[in-house]
Structures are given as structure tokens and as C-alpha cells.
Amino acid sequence: METITHNLVAVIIQILCFAFLLFPWNIIFTIILAFISHILVDDFSVITYHTPEARKDDKFWLIWHYIIYALSILSTIIFLLPYWLSLLFANVIDLWDWFILRPIQKKRKSKNPESKWGDNYYFHRMVDWSRKKLFFWLPQRTYKRSGIIIEIIIICVLSLILIFLGASIFIP
């Protein structure tokens, strides 16, 4: 799913862990649950508008991604200081796969197109695995434009939970 969705789930996890657990369990559980949350949230991306490839000629795709990227950056800026721990671990899977592993792999492939290096190091293999084992029953809607409504509803519900929990954008 989009970074904003991962961020909102992460903030909820950190608030709950720090409200109910004592040191060091609050930190340990925030890290573990934030990491797992990325996998679960990504599993559900099949029910939202999530074309596997970028469609830069498609106006609908472009506008939606401008909006969702802006919201993702905004939510990262707002929550980074107080909730950096959960934000980091809820996004480490994307950071590693998209911003570290993929560029390295691209470089290697440009030298040797046959290179299979790195294929097994993708964290998203865990997403694929759990989707096949646990969430195979979810309807496949990745190309349905109406899928953005589902992601918008998810973002709104998560935001309401955050308001209810009294999420602070300031360091507690």
C-alpha cells in the first residue's frame, strides 16, 4: 500500500505499545509489530488501485499518485519526530527493496543482464508468501480505479482512530 497508510498504522502501533507496555517491551513490540504491519497492510493492497507497473501516460494514475505521494510525504514530516521508531520499521521493507536493493540490482543487470543477484533478498517476498497462504481469498482489484475509494476509506478510518487516540505531532 501507499506510504501514508503504512505511516498511520505505524503511529497507532507506537501509541498503543507505549501506552500499555513498559520499557523495553514498548520499544521491542513497536519494532516487531511495525515491521509485521507492513506485510499485512501490503497484503491488502490487492483490494485497492495498485497497478503493478507505473502508468505515466494515464492521467488518472498520475493524479492519484501526485495526491498519494504528497500525503505520504506530509504524513512522514508530521509524524517523523515523535514516531520515528515505528515509521522507520513500518517502512524499512519498502526502503530496502525500492531504494537500496533495486538500484543495486539495476546496476548489476546493466553490466550482466543474466545476473540473478539479489532476487532472493527482497523483503516483499514475505508479502507474496503471506498473500498466497493467508489472503488468497481477497478479491483482485489492482486495476479497478474505484479501488482508490477503498484506500481513501482506510486512510480516513485510520486517521479517525489517531484522533481518538489523541496522537500528538509533538514529542511527548
Chain residues that interact with Zn ion, rule: CB under 5 A: 42, 94
8 Å CB contact between 62 and 145: no
Whole-number minimum distance, CB 87 to Zn ion, in Å?
Answer: 14
Closer of 112 and 120 to Zn ion (Cβ) = 120
Whole-number minimum distance, CB 21 to Zn ion, in Å?
Answer: 26
Report the C-alpha gap between 119 and 149 in whole angstroms. 33
Q: Which residue has the cell 514475505?
A: 126
Closer of 82 and 131 to Zn ion (Cβ) = 131
Closer of 18 and 65 to Zn ion (Cβ) = 65
Q: Which residue has the cell 489492482?
A: 142
Whole-number minimum distance, CB 42 to Zn ion, in Å?
Answer: 4
24-31: long-range contacts (C-beta < 8 A, 24 or more apart)? 27/85, 30/85, 30/86, 30/89, 31/85, 31/86, 31/89
Closer of 94 and 152 to Zn ion (Cβ) = 94
| Residue 101 DSSP label | I
Whole-number minimum distance, CB 94 to Zn ion, in Å?
Answer: 4
